[in-house]
Chains A and B, each alone.
Chain A
Amino acid sequence: MTLATPSDFQPLGQPTPPSSSGGLQPEGWLRYLSFSLDHKVIGLQYLVCGFLFYFLGGALAGVIRTELASPISDFVSRETYNQVLTLHGTVMIFLWIVPVVNGGFGNYLIPFYVGARDMAFPRLNAVAFWLIPPAGLLLISSYFLQGGAAQSGWTAYPPLSITTPALGQVLWILSVLLLGGSSIFGGINFIATILKLRRPGLELMQLPMYCWAMLGTSILVVLSTPVLAGTLILLSFDIIAHTGFFNPALGGNVVVYQHLFWFYSHPAVYIMVLPAFGLVSEILPIHARKPLFGYTTMVYSIMAIVVLGLVVWAHHMFTSGTPPWMRLFFTIATAFIAVPTGIKFFNWLATLWGGKIALNSAMLFACAFIVNFVLGGITGVALAQVPFDIHVHDTYFVVAHFHYIVYGGTVFVIFSAVYHWHPKFTGRMLNEHLGRLHFVLTFIGFNLCFAPQHWLGLNGMPRRVAEYDPSFATWNQVSSVGALLMALSTLPFLVNVVASAFRGEPAGDNPWNALTPEWLTTSPPPVDNWAGEAPLVTHPYGYGASEDRIDLRLATGRQLWGDPER
């Protein structure tokens, strides 16, 4: 017995409609430049746009690592260095990671997963995407205007952000406000889609894990992003109208800014990493041919991370004169986050345990994510401890830690997800040899770049400065070589994606024999997602020991509408 194909779900006598339903939207690549309302088009718009900003942010990182290859400031001026590191952080967080793991994969996958034909609010969805390019251009343009781009880092702490050139800082605020608005609109849409648009018969606890991850992420977006927006509005008053909210010289309070900023920006870490948790929970079971281990504990872990994630922000402020009770509370709360995160970590290991693992590019990146993330997680727990944090605060140890989370964690998952879903996006496979070359270069380059920074930070090298003590030179050069490798690793990826989109091996509808609903349709899917009625997938991870015994009809089709045998 062979695996069922989606065409098996077509009732007898049902003609297969053409895959693109009739010239109602621009055909071909042009629709990706249009105000399309199709969630799949919007998802790919987010994805491609995000990758363009990723290359920009990577080039900026290249400037940083070139400057830091030698102890003196000899590559760019100090002011330019400050602008470059501010732009690097802002671009990578607000224009690459957040839009891609939320807007990109979320828009493409969530409607499939809930059995809908589109998001709850398609127009709001398109508006949310089209806020991003202007915000990005605004940010980039500030570099070329008088005074240059913002220089105060992605945190924009006052009084630094009040005293550096105003125009760049105000444009930075405007850009982040637009991106925050985009993020909030997206979050509202995801919550409404997951809670209100589920296909009848589909229970919440039957949803693929990525839905839960996006629900948790969107709750964080809706609760925390507006606080950042309000804070930045007050900051812009300080810069433009010379009020004194955060200006100590005018009686203001900088620590209030830090509290409000981190009330958003710590949850922002989960906004960047929870969707990656969700994506990896989709990818591992399929390529290990095993059910996702511990579904229920995964769901509760995500929700626990959401709740705890909202009450740990001041662990970024242990050196800001926080009182002892506050240190105690935030240390304990932060350490508690390790529990649900650890549960998820062991669930992934248990999913792999005894599985029939296909070590393809998608799986290599997903497994490397587990390795990198546990390293970043351990340093995170260490950083939550006040005595240790005071020692390494504002050093390269922190830089190493969050790059292990955000690059080693989320970016590795993004690459894994691209290898995994590219056949669905385009109908063609990516080249495995190039994929593995990409993986090896990225994995070595990443660890070479960021592992030495732990050592540098422990020995006191501060972050955000262009010059450093010559005794740090060797490890900085190692780190810069790693960065070069990471840059090179992008080339096989780019060649692969571009060439495979046109000449790749045809993938068929379901090359991975997956059970989640996006695979139970054609590749690429029709505008309405399914030719017939949406399949009811109640066991999205029903992979068993023997391939032959997987019956898509049993796993998914029992209550299919229009099933001729019902």
Chain B
Amino acid sequence: MTSLAPGSSGATSIGAVAPSAGAEVHGHDDHGEHADARLFGLATFLVADGMTFAGFFAAYLTFRAVNPLPKGSSYELELVLPAINTVLLLVSSYTFHRAGRGLLRGDKASCRFWLLLSAGLGVAFLAGKMVEYFHLPFGLTDNLFASTFYALTGFHGLHVTLGVICILVVWWQARSGGRISAASPFGLEAAELYWHFVDGIWVILFGILYLL
């Protein structure tokens, strides 16, 4: 149950072989995570995650196109609350962006303020979703539209919940002396990328579920 400590024998032997070439030696710390590849890896994961949503969207649009609902049920949804929710998420993307700028300036207090605000907006979104769920005239198994609606918004809601947890973790790690700082902003960048992704998915969801 163990691993090589980062930069053990490999790095030392590189140094011993060719000190002159040391500057151009690729900076893999041998068996550790590679900083420059991590955001790339996360982006690749988000492509995969996005494909899950794409599958759901395709299923939903096909159901709508070819499977008529039983008489008396409709696709109509209340628009006001979801519209407010959309604005909340979009604003939270902006506040997260401000948090990132704060961190890079070295202003941790500002960074943490904007992070907390982003998390708050995320929680407000989830609360709005709950209120909407409790006031909907249909349940999960009522008809195909109802099932698809809950599956899509529920899966997205899980992503928002995870995002809020990530923001709070980043908020904690960005305290003074924490592992996230202007010099090592990876955790914050990763959470921000993920949060923008979740927002983007919501915009598509809002478009095809509520507006279409």
Contact = CB atoms under 8 A, between A and B. Distances in A.
A245 B47 CA distance: 25
Interface stretch (B15-23, B79-87, B125-133): B15-23
B63 interface: yes
B67 A561 contact: no
A460 interface: no
A216 B148 CA distance: 33
B141 A245 contact: no
Nearest to A35: B1
A116 B141 contact: no
B49 interface: yes
A58 B24 CA distance: 50
Is chain B's binding surface mostly helix, strand, loop or mixed? helix
Interface in A422-447: none
Interface string B144-160: 10011001000100000
Interface stretch (B34-42, B99-107, B109-117): B34-42
B44 A226 contact: no
A34 B2 CA distance: 8
| Residue from B4, B38, B151 having most chain A Cβ neighbours under 10 A | B4
B17 A532 contact: yes
B169 interface: no
A561 B18 contact: yes
B204 interface: no
B13 A532 contact: yes
Contacts of B47: 222-223
A229 to B, nearest CB: 6
Contacts of A263: 55
Contacts of A237: 147, 151
Nearest to B32: A122
A197 B28 contact: yes
Contacts of B40: 192, 195-196
B45 to A, nearest CB: 6
Given A11-B18, A222-B48, A533-B18, A244 B2 contact: no
Contacts of B45: 184, 188
Contacts of A259: 58, 62
Given A195-B40, A196-B36, A223 B18 contact: no
B175 interface: no
Contact of A230 (B10, B55, B67): B55
A66 interface: no
Contacts of A245: 59, 63, 144, 147-148, 151
B10 A562 contact: no
Is chain A's binding surface mostly helix, strand, loop or mixed? loop
Nearest to B10: A528
Interface residues of B, number: 56
A226 B55 CA distance: 8
B9 A17 contact: yes
Given A188-B48, A224-B51, A245-B147, A37 B56 contact: no
Interface stretch (A18-26, A345-353, A358-366, A508-516): A18-26
B66 to A, nearest CB: 7
Nearest to A263: B55
A238 to B, nearest CB: 9
B69 interface: yes
Given A117-B10, A227-B54, A36 B3 contact: yes
Contacts of A22: 8-9
A532 B22 CA distance: 12
B37 A197 contact: yes
Given A222-B48, A253-B63, A253-B66, A24 B5 contact: yes
Interface string A479-514: 000000000000000000000000000000000000
Interface in A388-416: none
Interface in A210-242: 222-227, 229-231, 233-234, 237, 241-242
A465 B54 CA distance: 35
Contacts of B70: 251
Contacts of A14: 16-17
B144 A24 contact: no
A38 B13 contact: no
Nearest to A190: B44
| Residue from B33, B37, B47, B58 having most chain A Cβ neighbours under 10 A | B37
Contact of A191 (B3, B36, B44, B147): B44
B143 interface: yes
Nearest to A116: B28
A370 interface: no
A243 interface: yes
A239 to B, nearest CB: 13
A202 to B, nearest CB: 10
A24 B2 contact: yes
B5 A256 contact: no
Nearest to A534: B26
A183 B83 CA distance: 37
| Residue from A34, A116, A224, A256 having most chain B Cβ neighbours under 10 A | A256
Given A223-B47, A561-B17, 9 more contacts: A11-B17, A121-B33, A188-B41, A196-B34, A226-B55, A230-B55, A234-B59, A256-B63, A532-B13
Interface of A: 11, 14, 17, 21-22, 24-26, 34-38, 116-118, 120-124, 184, 187-189, 191-193, 195-197, 199-200, 222-227, 229-231, 233-234, 237, 241-245, 250-253, 256, 259-260, 263, 527-528, 531-533, 561-562
15 contacts: A17-B13, A121-B41, A184-B48, A225-B48, A226-B48, A227-B55, A233-B155, A237-B151, A244-B141, A245-B63, A251-B69, A253-B62, A528-B9, A528-B10, A533-B17
